Structure 1
Amino acid sequence: MPLVDYSLDADGIATVYLNRSDVLNVLNPELMTEMKLLLSDLAENPEVRALVITGKGKGFCAGADLTAVDPETLERGRLGKWVSDSMLHHFNPMMIQIYEFPKPVISAINGIAAGGGAGLALCADLVIAARSAAIKVVQVPQLGIVADLGANWLLPRLSGRGRALGACLLGDTLDAQTLEQWGLVWECVDDDELLHKARERAVKLASVPANTITQTRRLIDSAAQSTFNDMLEQERLVQEELCDQDHFGQQVQRFLNRPER
């Protein structure tokens, strides 16, 4: 049985499922290796126009699989090096692939997204949560380590420094209503509507040129480090490129051809 499953529908929406439902889809090296290979294939597949990531079963992802730790590594006091190597070769490359995916990405949070699962859930361009969903950043209070999988970058940008620090330091469970109030997710929907709504949003994003999506992502994420004048210049250069796309030319032509003109 694959640890990562997926389907591709007629509209070009690839839905990727973390497929370890018996253990709340925790991330082990084997799952992440499958995920990286699948993401590479989907990124290059011209039939894929948008990506939805979700979890099988009752939860989205409960973070890292601590049972993957080699007992000998623990006994030798090399746990830090083992974790660092795992992040270098598995966790971080997978997250970079998702963040830099060349087509729109939606995460559909079903149930709990805990630990590293929180960063995975929040990394998408658009995040949709079921009403049963929750995020819990457990690393600091439970394990005495920092949050990871990009949570320290994502949380303050989405919810502000105060809420980000509180979420990381306290490890409180943030339910779907809180996630929506804090701006951590775009919308909350009934559980049985989650994948339908995610697909609906994916179809809408898929109608936009993929390069426009990725350039928007880049501009939004660079805004905090840019002055207003810098952003105006970045926007100008991006518009020069995007306005030469067929999509923009067709829309302008459609506007010019309106009967009322």
Structure 2
Amino acid sequence: MSQTAVLFELIDDVAVVTLNEGDRMNPLSEEVRAGLLDALQRVQEDKAIRVLLLTGRGRGFCVGADLDDFGRRAAEAPKKGETLGHYVGHIMASSGNRILTALRSLPVPVICAVNGAAAGGGVGLALAADMVVAARSAYFYLPFVPALGIVPDMGSTWSLPRAIGGARAVGLALTGEKLSAQRAAEWGLIWACMKDEQLQVEAMKLARQLAALPAHAISEARALFAAAETNNLEQQLALERERQQALIDGESFTEGLKAFAEKRKPRFRGR
């Protein structure tokens, strides 16, 4: 992993991954993409890790595509007999989309602490987390259509309408209006908006809370909510019954009952 572009710190059972090109507001450069993939692989493999906290250094969480790099590539492309579009399609397939699917499939809860601007692909990156918290000064910005004549990516066309509805998602994409963290919380796009100076402390507090969860229940809950997107009510009720019947005989429920009887917090096993 590039220790310059992406920092990895293990605090007890919480993995803290920090985008570290803050002087450029953390674009998804080649180094950042590679660093993120390495970090996510490490979280996937290390069974001692129970939560991932993703954040950025500096004034911006992530501004999406590295447009400086795109500009250089566009100038060089004709000489190499290729197009910029071919290059962009390649990096989306080889790293950008892989980052999103890796985040969504981790066996641990993912928290994203948005410390500043989340723009372009940075919006999709943030929304790939299970829970998003943001500093009061943070905002979410989709410049693709009005500023560049392209379409939103990094999964934002999937995550945004599911969180805030189609009308608001399309409106943000077409107008390029910056959505403040406060309004994002009011719309239900993120979990919470908080004072800038409290963001990292509160994010870590939330991470420690999630670290105490029974590990298998994370994937179970994700799968159930995902199924609800396409199931009708009867199908969803049947699925709830099926999963509850299976889980009720597990050790986590047994421990939960025991803890309730003993008036203490339950102690669930990790992965």
Q: Which amino acid aligns with 1:117?
A: G
CA distance in 2: counterparts of 1:61 and 1:178, whole angstroms: 19
Q: TM-score, normalised by structure 2?
A: 0.90
Q: Which amino acid aligns with 1:3?
A: A
Query: Gaps (5+ residues) in structure 1?
Result: none
Aligned to 2:137: 132
SS at match of 2:234: helix
Aligned to 2:205: 200
CA distance in 2: counterparts of 1:28 and 1:20, whole angstroms: 9
Change over 3 Å in CA distance of 1:251–1:27 after alignment to 2:
same
Aligned to 1:105: 110
SS at match of 2:241: helix
Q: TM-score, normalised by structure 1?
A: 0.93
CA distance in 1: counterparts of 2:108 and 2:59, whole angstroms: 27
Q: Among residues 69, 73, 80, which one is paired with 2:77 in the alignment?
A: 73
When structure 1 is superposed on structure 2, of 65-74 and 55-64 the one drifting more is 65-74
Q: Among residues 234, 239, 244, which one is paired with 1:234 in the alignment?
A: 239
Spell out the pairing of 1:39-188 with structure 2 (5 A cutoff): 39-69=40-70, 70=73, 71-73=75-77, 76=81, 78-188=83-193
CA distance in 2: counterparts of 1:51 and 1:74, whole angstroms: 42
Q: Which amino acid aligns with 2:76?
A: E
CA distance in 1: counterparts of 2:249 and 2:27, whole angstroms: 44
SS at match of 2:62: coil
CA distance in 2: counterparts of 1:111 and 1:241, whole angstroms: 42
Query: Gaps (5+ residues) in structure 2?
Result: 264-271
Q: Give the drift of 1:257.
A: 5.9
Q: Which amino acid aligns with 1:227?
A: N
Q: Which amino acid aligns with 1:240?
A: Q
1:208-240 deviations in whole A, cap 9, x for unaligned? 112211221222122121111111122222223
SS at match of 2:60: coil
Q: Which amino acid aligns with 1:103?
A: V
SS at match of 1:231: helix
Aligned to 1:19: 20
Q: Give the drift of 1:77.
A: 5.8
Identity of aligned residues (%): 39
Aligned to 1:221: 226
SS at match of 2:47: coil
SS at match of 1:8: strand
Q: Which amino acid aligns with 1:157?
A: R
Aligned to 1:3: 5
Number of aligned positions between the proteins = 257
When structure 1 is superposed on structure 2, of 48-57 and 27-36 the one drifting more is 27-36
When structure 1 is superposed on structure 2, of 68-77 and 53-62 the one drifting more is 68-77
When structure 1 is superposed on structure 2, of 240-249 and 180-189 the one drifting more is 240-249
1:104-162 deviations in whole A, cap 9, x for unaligned? 00000011000000111111111101001100011111111110001011111110111
Q: Give the drift of 1:86.
A: 0.9
Aligned to 1:250: 255
CA distance in 1: counterparts of 2:106 and 2:138, whole angstroms: 24
SS at match of 1:146: coil
CA distance in 1: counterparts of 2:237 and 2:68, whole angstroms: 49
Q: Does 1:32 align with 2:36?
A: no
Q: Which amino acid aligns with 1:4?
A: V
SS at match of 1:225: coil
Give me the CA root mean square deviation.
Answer: 1.6
SS at match of 2:17: strand
Q: Which amino acid aligns with 2:175?
A: L
Change over 3 Å in CA distance of 1:191–1:251 after alignment to 2:
same
